[in-house]
Structure 1
Amino acid sequence: MSNTEAHPVEPSCGGPSQTGPPPAVEVLTAREVPLGGPRAMTVRRTLPQRARTLIGAWCFADHYGPDDVSRTGGMDVAPHPHTGLQTVSWLFGGEIEHRDSLGSHAFVRPGELNLMTGGHGISHTEVSTPRTTLLHGVQLWVALPDEHRAAPRDFQHYAPAPVPLDGGAARVFLGTLAGATSPVPTFTPLLGAELSVDPGATVRLEADPHFEHGLLVDTGDIRFDGTPLAPAEMGYAAPGRTTLTVTNAGPDAARLVLLGGPPFGEEIVMWWNFVGRTHDDIVQAREDWMKGTRFGEVQGYDGAPLPAPELPNAPLKPRGRAR
């Protein structure tokens, strides 16, 4: 998915991990962002924001739907570039057709991971299919560490089986949780899982104390380590926890996405669809995209590529990691 904002934020983050006892869960509220087009579907963005720009290496989180595509037109994101990151597509409902400049042609379906590595540069398209009536899911980005941010283009698909939990279930699409491990390789330690929690149930999960975690609520009346979270909110838990407790106080099953990883120890600059280390990295990536170099071509999409927004007048400045 592309960041289609005309004036994208330019966070830079990094720094040491939390020391001492972990604080209470921090509640991150989403802001609504239109995803382009005359009948733009709206996404709810919890990362990046001024309060927090990274959770582990997770640097971007959009939550959308259930979106009636007959009313909004659904998703139709023209060819656009990425550098220095991986995109993670995860659906709850509907179907998206993916094409990229590696030559991949795949369909994103509920409960199936599609992970694309941009590295030095890739371009892709995302279009909801004609058989989709309701579109519902999340789009996530992972920042690549400096030694791997020019990694070759890659595309991975994985359909994790549900793992039963006491009070719910999990689908682990990246990393390890509740005894299940995803075979999909990552460049930094990561956790990504869809959780379901039964009505009135509490799920307790063993946690790596070196990880920070984010819990994004899709549905449910949730308490995350005792902190209330409403749908579309994300709860942030600092490192130091060995257990995560998720309670669904509502009358229906809850659905959530759990993200995690050790604090990302490098400063990054993120602007539009690019992750770099300096202002000049971003300038070069934008120039290469507008010249039609570096990112390759997407075959099979009927339409022009997205133009890059104009860069701000001032140099892109670091935005410190919340501590």
Structure 2
Amino acid sequence: MSNNETDPAEWRCGAGADEGVARREARVEARVEVLSARDVPLGGPRAMTVRRTLPQRARTTIGAWCFADHYGPDNVAESGGMDVGPHPHTGLQTVSWLFSGEIEHRDSLGTRAYVRPGELNLMTGGHGICHSEVSTAATTVLHGVQLWVALPSDHREARRNFQHYVPRPVPVGGGEARVFLGSLAGDTSPVPTFSPLVGAELVLAPGATTSLAVDPCFEHGLLVDSGNVSMAGTPLRPAELGYHAPGTETLTLTNTGDVPARTILLGGTPFDEPIVMWWNFIGRDHDEIAEARQAWERNSSRFGGVEGYEGDRIPAPVLPNATLTPRRNPARPSQEGAR
């Protein structure tokens, strides 16, 4: 999915602490940091609105997960659905995951694929790729998440690629998991990643508690789609993202409500490389972003083209005059404080 904001924020991310670290260090005793979403309209007068929890000032990455949009359930007859024209990406992978509806994906590899509920669609755009996304005529309710993964330096020029995978449901205490990346609950996705990651949909029955064995080197984020869930004892409401620092071997989740709860679990080793995010590009400095933007505006072969989309490419927004302002994750709590 494109970040269709006409004046996108510039993000420079990396290891270290921001100006508010002193205040945040006073709160490291909290087991889970609760991140709220902001509403972002995606293009046009009938724009589909998404709830964005990453990046934000409080936290820019969880592992290499650097972008999280959560949308729906949207009645397509009212919202108009999704119609995102060809747009570029660099330095990242897109992860598409639906709860309901269907999206047609076309990209400059020549791929034409459909994103359906419970099926992973992962696109790699290291040096450059472009794609379009359109909800199909069969879609009545559109509901899902769009996630990005930052590519580490050794692989940030990775070739274009597209992968599709359908994970099987795996039972967990009082519910089930679908592991689309990495390993969890005794299941492992065959889809390779460029840094240690986990991504899974978790559904818990009313009142159920599950304790998941997790990698203590990972930090984790839990995005709540529906229901009320506690993560390590901290309550989370729908559209909130709970952050848990590295240092725990067991992650305990409880559905505190009387209806099923659905969540997305994201995790990975802390991504400490400095990166710059702007619009649909990830680079290492302002000049890399400006170069990618210029290549897109010049219709360079760097990104290729999308065949079969009936409409125009999305033009890149104007770069701001200022140089990127560093914005970093807060200092990580000690492992003792995270347990």
Q: Same fold (TM over 0.5)?
A: yes
TM range (shorter): over 0.9
Aligned residue identity for 1:282: I
For the 8 Å contact 2:197–2:266, the answer to whether it is kept is: yes
Whether 1:314 aligns to 2:322 is yes
- The CA deviation string for residues 187-242 of structure 1, in whole angstroms up to 9 with x for no partner, is 00100000001101111101111000000000111111111111000000000011
Q: Indicate how the Cα distance of structure 1 residues 67 and 298 shifts in structure 2: closer, same or farther if over 3 A, else same.
A: same
Alignment correspondent of 2:173: 166
Q: Given the superposition, is the C-alpha separation of residues 123 and 22 from structure 1 closer, same or farther in structure 2, using an over 3 Å criterion?
A: farther
Distance 2:275 2:116 in 1: 31
- Choose 119-128 or 32-41, whichever is displaced more: 32-41
Tell me, in whole angstroms, the C-alpha distance in 1 between the residues paired with 2:45 and 2:7: 18
Residue identity in the other structure for 1:47: L
Give ranges in structure 1 of 5+ residues lacking alignment: none
Letter of the 1:320 counterpart: R
Moved more, 132-141 or 2-11: 2-11
Tell me the SS of whatever aligns to 1:306. coil
User: Aligned residue for 1:7?
Assistant: 7
Cα distance, 1:318 vs structure 2: 2.0
| Structure 1 CA distance for aligned equivalents of residues 77 and 31 of structure 2 | 42
Q: 2:16 touches 2:329 (CA, 8 Å); kept in 1?
A: no
Deviation at 1:317, TM superposition (A): 2.4
**Misfit runs of 4+, over 6 Å:** none
Residue 109 of structure 1 aligns with which residue?
116
Residue type of the partner of 2:43? G
Give the structure 2 partner of residue 230 of structure 1: 237
SS of residue in 1 equivalent to 2:110: coil
Distance 2:260 2:102 in 1: 23
Amino acid at match of 1:191: V
Q: Report if aligned partners of 1:111, 1:159 keep a CA contact under 8 Å in 2.
A: yes
User: Match for 1:304 among 301, 306, 312?
Assistant: 312
Mapped to 2, the partners of 1:64 and 1:22 lie a distance apart of 32
TM-score (norm 1): 0.98
2:337 is matched with which residue?
A: none
Taking structure 2 as the reference length, what is the TM-score of the superposition? 0.93
Secondary structure class of the residue paired with 1:199: coil
Q: Over aligned residue pairs, what C-alpha RMSD do you find?
A: 1.3
Distance 1:320 1:164 in 2: 37
Deviation, 1:173, is 0.0
1:88 counterpart residue number? 95
Shift of 1:22: 7.2
Tell me the distance in 1 between the aligned counterparts of 2:38 and 2:153: 29
Q: Find the counterpart in structure 2 of residue 34 from structure 1.
A: 41
SS at 2:43's partner residue? coil
Matches of 2:108 and 2:213 in 1, distance apart? Answer: 39
Given that 1:174 and 1:191 are in contact with CA atoms closer than 8 Å, whether structure 2 keeps it comes out as yes
Distance 1:22 1:284 in 2: 43
Is the partner of 1:319 in helix, strand or coil? Answer: coil
Matched, 1:185 2:192: yes
Looking at structure 1, the residues matched to 12 and 248 of structure 2 have their Cα atoms a distance apart, in angstroms, of 26
Per-residue Cα deviation, 1:106-145 (whole angstroms, up to 9, x for no partner): 0000000000000000000000000000000000000000
| 3-state SS in 1 of match to 2:58 | coil
* Secondary structure of the corresponding residue to residue 110 of structure 1: coil
How many residues in Structure 1 have an aligned counterpart in Structure 2?
Answer: 321
Q: Distance in 2 between matches of 1:316 and 1:291?
A: 23
Structure 2 match to 1:137 = 144
- For 1:189 and 1:46, how far apart are their aligned partners in 2? 21
Match of 1:271 among 270, 275, 278: 278
The runs of 5 or more residues in structure 2 that have no matched partner are 18-24, 332-339
- 1:59/1:142 contact within 8 Å kept: yes
The residue type paired with residue 14 of structure 1 is: G
| Native 8 Å contact 2:199 2:264 kept in 1 | yes
Separation in structure 1 between the aligned mates of residue 75 and residue 271 of structure 2, nearest angstrom: 37
- Out of 239, 248, 257, which is 1:241 matched to? 248
SS at match of 2:164: strand
Task: State the distance in 1 between where 2:292 and 2:228 align.
Answer: 42
Matched residue SS, 2:132 = strand
CA distance in 2, matches of 1:318, 1:284: 19
Aligned to 1:124: 131
Q: CA deviation at 1:167?
A: 1.1
Q: Which residue of 2 aligns with 1:60?
A: 67
